[in-house]
Amino acid sequence: MSTANDVAKRIDKLREEINHHNHLYYVMDAPEIPDIEYDRLLRELQALENAHPELITPDSPTQRVGAGPLTSFAEVKHQVPMLSLSNAMDEQEVHDFDRRICEKLASDEVVYAAEPKLDGLAISLRYENGILVRGATRGDGSTGEDVTQNVRTIETIPLRLHGKGYPKVLEVRGEVIMTKSGFNKLNETQREQGGKTFANPRNAAAGSLRQLDPAVTATRPLEFYSYGIGQVEGKKLPDKHSEILKQLREWGMRLNPEVQVVRGVRGCLRFYENILKKRDRLDYDIDGVVYKVDDLEQQNIMGFVSRAPRWAIAHKFPAQEEMTVLLDIDVQVGRTGAITPVARLEPVFVGGVTVTNATLHNQDEIDRKDVRIGDTVVVRRAGDVIPEVVGMVKSKRPKGTRKFKMPVACPVCGSEVVKLETEAVARCTGGLFCPAQRKEAIKHFASRKAMDIEGLGDKLVEQLVDEGLIHDIADLFGLEKDQIAALDRMADKSAQNVIDALEKSKQTTLDRFIFSLGIRQVGETTARTLAQHFGTLDALMKAKEQTLIDVPDVGPVVAESIAHFFAEKHNQDVIKKLLNAGVVWPEIKLVPKEEQPLNGKTFVITGTLSTMGRDEAKAKLLALGAKVSGSVSKNTDYVIVGENPGSKATKAESLGVEILDEAAFLKLVQE
């Protein structure tokens, strides 16, 4: 049985822990536990305090969200406080929220604005007479940091409001986020240059916005979405939240395209399901959705509890980060010999699945994060991305943890492992002598986007190599049915299917064939570009490094890798064997530049296309003779606009450049 004394002790302990994590999160930009764990602590404290209100003290973390600002930025007092939101962790809590509102308003059905809950950081932008005069972080809600110089570098934040009729003073509130694609690129660059990598896009956005040097911030892919207002003077705004947002858009603020007006709790829950389904496809992280009573008069009636409005709630999604124990670290040998440390984990449910393995990237990353075997670690699984260990929790480190050291010999073939000065990864030097590399090369060759050999899965490839039936990709075409049928879990029929699939795969295309060779640095897009450019395999194989560099989108590193590959006698032999086995493709007619349909036309692509990646769209355009540029100018002929377009779409409009939506673009390239 718990005594009053036990409760008081637990409350003290919780406050201490929460304060510790607050400091790490708000001041240091370096949280060590996932949000979900922090929420659990805070909720437990809240529950205990609700049951024992006599134990609430003014300095409890529940009475003051966040911590003080860093001393390096000037302080900003928010005239209108920046609030936080209460959370609903499940449907029941959303129903409860709606019921409280319906009761208080004596209404059967309330109209809500439903918005994604963007996972970035809250910013207040102050416009005076239409000019951006200040940008401030939220801080503890009443005092934030002056980050004006940094927000000015964010393209999606207008320095001057559009149109007219705006109030003398207007504070726009919203979220600064980093896109997932921008985040991945940033981390890649940081990794290459030995800089600090970020655990997730939100930390990256926070770290970038709180750079003391705005020149650094300017290089970071930050974006801004507005979702509300603060202080307003000199004009009356509409009396609905959704209409205020529309008004803000007219003044040049970016709104999230998913925002909707919905009816009642059912409308809210439908919105939640919709956004949850879309979550992985959006190029920014969201950790839930927000419901806000749309009518401002009704908002007034509802009022506030401490720092959160009673008229709004955040309905959280399942967490994409969780904690678990790192049991051991193994290494995996990839197709190019790259040796990746893989974390063996105590099974943990995260991002909708049970995860037992996660990548640790490389030795440098392990060292930088100081991850040791036995540690409690934070695992992140977002969408289809391979789960990764993003950090460890120092306060949970037990005695006797072990450091990981990269093996000096390949665990599969025993060859030496080397790490180039210029690369982050260590590699097995065994090349195709290494069975692990050979297996990966063959799996790649057979994969759907390469030769597409149906039924030749990973398990079968491993057996074929282990049994010594094949040594390279060309050996596949010499296989006989009986050899396959004799293998574990194979039978006459399945063996025949593999033989048929092998036969069928011989009719391929040049770009697939180039891709399937597994040349380092040559992905699908580059393979397509090379096929279009050279027209024949022979021409590609004979091309000198300098000629390769001249191909659009092929840089020196890629060119060197290609030239190197075809200069290798072993590779030439394998290719000869493949051709002798009957691998063929239709001839490509090279159309002279002047006769290409899009010759001389310049395109810009912005936003996300639903049917293909940007690289693929770009390759399609290049293949038709077009130029693809990164920025819109008066020389641009067409701008292709996908979902969530950036400022390029607006710029195109103002310059009168022709805009194509995805359907129009597809029609154009198909014709």
Q: List the catalytic residues.
A: 117
User: Measured from the CB atom, is 242 or 505 closer to ligand IVH?
Assistant: 242
Q: How far is the CB of 314 from ligand IVH (least distance, A)?
A: 6
- The angle subtended at Cα 294 by Cα 144 and Cα 314, nearest 5°, is 55
User: Measured from the CB atom, is 224 or 565 closer to ligand IVH?
Assistant: 224
User: Measured from the CB atom, is 112 or 565 closer to ligand IVH?
Assistant: 112
User: Measured from the CB atom, is 313 or 355 closer to ligand IVH?
Assistant: 313
User: Measured from the CB atom, is 309 or 411 closer to ligand IVH?
Assistant: 309
Phi, psi of 628 (to 5 degrees): -120, 125
Q: Which residues bind ligand IVH (CB under 6 A)?
A: 83-85, 115, 117-118, 122, 138, 175, 227-228, 290, 309, 312, 314
Q: How far is the CB of 561 from ligand IVH (least distance, A)?
A: 43
User: Measured from the CB atom, is 43 or 614 closer to ligand IVH?
Assistant: 43
Measured between alpha carbons, how far is residue 98 from residues 102, 103, 116, 451, 646 in Å?
6, 9, 18, 55, 35
Q: Are 583 and 513 in contact (CB under 8 A)?
A: yes
558-567, long-range: CB < 8 A, 24+ apart: 558/521, 558/522, 558/526, 561/519, 561/520, 561/521, 561/522, 562/519, 562/521, 562/522, 562/530, 565/517, 565/519, 565/520, 566/540, 566/541
| DSSP per-residue string spanning 83-148 | ----EE-SHHHHHHHHHHHHHHHT-S--EEEEEEEESSEEEEEEEETTEEEEEEE-TTSSEEEB-H
Report strand pairing: 338-350 vs 426-428.
antiparallel
3-class secondary structure, 332: strand
User: Measured from the CB atom, is 117 or 369 closer to ligand IVH?
Assistant: 117
E strand or H helix at 224: strand 222-233
User: Measured from the CB atom, is 26 or 603 closer to ligand IVH?
Assistant: 26
Half-sphere exposure of 82 (CA within 13 A, CB side): 27
Number of Cβ atoms within 10 Å of the Cβ of 341:
21
User: What's the rounded Cα separation, in Å, for the pair 671 and 669?
Assistant: 5
User: What's the rounded Cα separation, in Å, for the pair 337 and 427?
Assistant: 5
Half-sphere exposure of 396 (CA within 13 A, CB side): 19
User: What's the rounded Cα separation, in Å, for the pair 482 and 491?
Assistant: 9
Q: How far is the CB of 144 from ligand IVH (least distance, A)?
A: 11
User: What's the rounded Cα separation, in Å, for the pair 599 and 342?
Assistant: 48
User: Measured from the CB atom, is 198 or 227 closer to ligand IVH?
Assistant: 227
Phi, psi of 508 (to 5 degrees): -130, -160
Q: Are 549 and 555 in contact (CB under 8 A)?
A: yes
User: Measured from the CB atom, is 78 or 651 closer to ligand IVH?
Assistant: 78
629-635, long-range: CB < 8 A, 24+ apart: 629/602, 629/603, 629/604, 630/604, 631/604, 632/604, 632/657, 635/602
- Residue showing the smallest CB distance to ligand IVH in the complex: 122
Q: How far is the CB of 45 from ligand IVH (least distance, A)?
A: 17
Q: How far is the CB of 213 from ligand IVH (least distance, A)?
A: 24
Q: How far is the CB of 207 from ligand IVH (least distance, A)?
A: 16
Half-sphere exposure of 109 (CA within 13 A, CB side): 7
User: What's the rounded Cα separation, in Å, for the pair 116 and 256?
Assistant: 8
User: What's the rounded Cα separation, in Å, for the pair 504 and 265?
Assistant: 54
Q: How far is the CB of 83 from ligand IVH (least distance, A)?
A: 4
- Return the closest-CA partner of residue 61 out of 26, 89, 31: 26
Phi, psi of 148 (to 5 degrees): -55, -50
3-class secondary structure, 607: coil
Q: How far is the CB of 296 from ligand IVH (least distance, A)?
A: 12
User: Measured from the CB atom, is 175 or 321 closer to ligand IVH?
Assistant: 175
Q: How far is the CB of 286 from ligand IVH (least distance, A)?
A: 8
Report strand pairing: 658-660 vs 638-641.
parallel
Q: How far is the CB of 299 from ligand IVH (least distance, A)?
A: 9
Q: How far is the CB of 309 from ligand IVH (least distance, A)?
A: 5
- Return the closest-CA partner of residue 404 out of 455, 365, 347, 346: 365
E strand or H helix at 524: helix 524-534
Measured between alpha carbons, how far is residue 132 from residues 124, 141, 213, 356, 648 in Å?
11, 21, 19, 49, 21
Q: Are 114 and 264 in contact (CB under 8 A)?
A: no
